[in-house]
Chains A and B, each alone.
Chain A
Amino acid sequence: MLIEEKIKELEKKANDIRQSIIEMLVEAKSGHTAGPLGMADIFTLFYFHILKHNPEDPFWEDRDRLVLSNGHICPVLYATMAHSGYFPIEELKTLRKLGTRLQGHPHREYLPFVENSSGPLGEGLSQAIGMALADKIDQKDKDRFIYCVMSDGELDEGNSWEGIMFAGKNRLRNLIAIVDRNNIQIDGFTEHIMPLEPLADKWRAFNWHVIEVGGHDFRALNEAIEEAQRILEKPTVIIAHTIPGKGVKEFERDYKWHGKAPSKEEGKMALKELRENRPV
């Protein structure tokens, strides 16, 4: 359960993270805008409430694992990690620049705090499955959870469904996938490019427990994750309905913002809007 006070705190934090995302993308002059803004609430909830982790001891053996599958939304991962203390917030401005730890898509060699390198789509879930399976073999599957954050567009990939089928077969109770159901991909709306619906039924048919939830409602998201943690006989997918570009009206629900960064002017406008709407 989340108390009102905690929700308020999370809302402020998510707003700060969205501002950081805009600032870093403007500075980088390239990168993805819609996905990171849309997932800011979910990442905030994970890093400031759900995850068992310790930014001062990033390699703590008993930590939960959060695998980001769609690496292109890494600005939200980097911003959230910086705000939770993994590295200085100032470092976010180095995104995509030569020698940076914050590569255009995450690379563990440069930033070992991330659980996996990612970018090419449809691979993260299977890596999370491997982690969950290793813990099951070692009888550690009651001690920690393996979370996989993934996009809806990457469900076009065959590798995704190979993993989904396999996890269902192996009843991985310690595995929780979160699908960013924002309905957009590079070329347009998912239902135009390659229809995914009925998406929940598809996952159910592969022996997963399915929860659908609004992706900007902290209380509902938290309840969904708590429910997923209680499901003992199968893996759970949380289909989180999000608004791409969330927080900046100009960017919201427009697939053109999938893969581009705001200009300086657009960035100023976005930051102004975010600051005005920051909860007090």
Chain B
Amino acid sequence: MLNPHLKLNPKIFSTDCEQAPIRKGFGQGLLLAGETDKNVVALCADLTESTQMNFFAEKFPKRFIEMGVAEQNLVTVSSGMAAMGKIPFCSSYAMFSPGRNWEQIRTTIAYNDKPVKIVGSHAGISVGADGGTHQALEDIALMRVLPNMDVISPCDAIEAKKATLALAKTKKPAYLRLAREKTPIITTEETSFEIGKAQIYWIPDVGLAQVGIIVTGSLTYRAILAAKELEAEGIKTKVMNLSAIVPIDMEAITALAKESKAIVTVEEHQIAGGMGSAVAEVLAKSYPVPMEFIGIQNRFGQSGTPDELIEHYGMGKNSIKEAVKKVLKRKL
């Protein structure tokens, strides 16, 4: 059942469950952050509406900076503004930022330790029809290896809004990963959020979990659906939303492994270097258990609808269920 303590969306399993793009929550959060703190500025590389910065741009035209299609300049100018006390949010598609400008981010933001918030929209395979060039499947790996850099991947629009507001208050560099397509709203305004705090969204009706499912980003909904069906089939799971890949919640991950003795990770990202790898790095040291990884298996994407692509690349509900059953057999 849904964790009753987190005040999650009670309509999550009904057909009229509200949907919204995760990036939309960022747009709303940025506007609120701009209202609270005049040092918040927004920079965009010719994708203002796509990345949902248009609300901020309309309300605060003097604090919105159009950079043109120039992602290297986007992040280096942001670094300079941060040096003068600004809190810059700079956005593009994840494939271009941090895809194109990684070294600039490394040197002028991470190494320089400047509180620039890099917002990568249209991340993951669910970008859909635009095809492989536009599907960022490596961005978590690129960013989580950088010292000083927080990496946040919200599960829905409401969490994205809260994450944006929280990042506006930290003095650290951060990467915020957003998806393009509409996804069901899982959380509510009342659901708590704290950077670096993993949360269990699904718990067994009774007893301990036999498998722990750890998910990040837009696939969280599918992971919960899989858990619900598994429960009906008699397999008890917990679903953890790991929205912060850095800083990673080692304590919560280890506790889940100790309880379930088997873990499945789920992400819209290459398996190599992604969230699942980060979890494996934690567990290999703290409490090794059998693991299965749902994600892209060392391939590039292609055109298609988001749903088709998620199924085609083995990240849908049934794939998650199969992975749970597979890891269950590996226990002992």
Contact = CB atoms under 8 A, between A and B. Distances in A.
A74 B315 CA distance: 50
Interface string A105-123: 0011100000111111011
Interface in B60-89: 62-63, 65, 67-68, 70, 72-73, 76-86, 88
A150 interface: no
A65 B79 CA distance: 14
A116 B72 contact: no
A126 B111 contact: no
A117 B112 CA distance: 6
A119 B103 CA distance: 11
Interface in A162-190: 162-163, 165-166
Nearest to A61: B85
Contacts of A259: none
A123 B108 contact: yes
Contacts of A126: 72-73, 76-77, 79-80, 108
Interface stretch (A10-18, A80-88, A128-136, A209-217): A128-136
Contact of B73 (A115, A119, A131, A159): A159
A137 interface: yes
B30 interface: no
B42 to A, nearest CB: 12
Contact of B81 (A108, A123, A131, A163): A131
B36 interface: no
Interface residues of B, number: 28
B84 A134 contact: yes
Contact of A131 (B63, B84, B104, B112): B84
B108 A117 contact: yes
B117 to A, nearest CB: 14
A127 interface: yes
A227 B176 CA distance: 43
Contact of A128 (B65, B80, B104): B80
A58 interface: no
A158 B71 CA distance: 11
B107 interface: yes
A130 B104 contact: no
A128 to B, nearest CB: 6
Interface string B269-308: 0000000000000000000000000000000000000000
A117 B76 CA distance: 12
B119 interface: no
Contacts of B83: 65, 115-116, 127, 130-131, 134
Given A120-B107, A159-B76, A163-B77, A134 B68 contact: no
B103 A127 contact: no
Q: Is the interface of B mostly helix, strand, loop or mixed?
A: helix
Contacts of B70: 162, 165-166
Interface residues on A, range: 20 to 34
A138 to B, nearest CB: 8
B215 interface: no
A163 B73 contact: yes
A146 B65 CA distance: 19
Contacts, number: 96
A129 B77 contact: yes
Contacts of B152: none
B214 to A, nearest CB: 33
Contacts of A165: 68, 70
A131 B79 CA distance: 8
A163 B65 CA distance: 13
A236 to B, nearest CB: 17
A120 B103 contact: yes
A162 B78 CA distance: 13
A127 B79 contact: yes
B78 to A, nearest CB: 6
Nearest to A135: B84
B41 interface: yes
Nearest to B83: A131
22 contacts: A67-B80, A108-B112, A108-B113, A116-B83, A116-B112, A119-B107, A120-B103, A120-B104, A126-B79, A127-B83, A129-B77, A130-B76, A130-B79, A130-B82, A132-B80, A133-B80, A134-B81, A137-B62, A159-B73, A162-B68, A163-B77, A166-B70
Interface of B: 41, 62-63, 65, 67-68, 70, 72-73, 76-86, 88, 103-104, 107-108, 111-113
| 7 nearest A-B residue pairs (beta carbon) | A130-B80, A126-B76, A134-B84, A162-B73, A127-B80, A162-B70, A130-B77
